[in-house]
Amino acid sequence: MLHPEPPAKCCSYCGGRDHDFEECPKRRADAEKEGVAPEPEPATRVEPGQT
C-alpha cells in the first residue's frame, strides 16, 4: 500500500498548494510592504551645469 500522503498544504492566502500560509512568500512580501513604509525616493536634485 503505497499511498504517500503529502501534507495538505493549502495556502489560504494566495491559494498556493506548495506552501503553507505561514510560509507564503506572497504574504511575506505583503507583510514587508506593510511593515516597511515604502519611502518615496528622495528627489535627487541633479544640479545641471556642475563641472
* Contact residue for Zn ion among 3, 4, 6, 16 (CB under 5 A): 16
* Contact residue for Zn ion among 3, 13, 32, 48 (CB under 5 A): 13
Q: Identify which of 1, 3, 21 has the alpha carbon closest to the alpha carbon of residue 11.
A: 21
* Contact residue for Zn ion among 2, 8, 10, 11 (CB under 5 A): 11
Q: Provide the grid cell at 18.
A: 506548495
Q: Identify which of 38, 5, 7, 4 has the alpha carbon closest to the alpha carbon of residue 23.
A: 7
In the complex, minimum distance from the CB of residue 20 to Zn ion, in angstroms, rounded to a whole number: 8
Chain residues binding Zn ion by CB under 5 A are 11, 13-14, 16, 24, 26
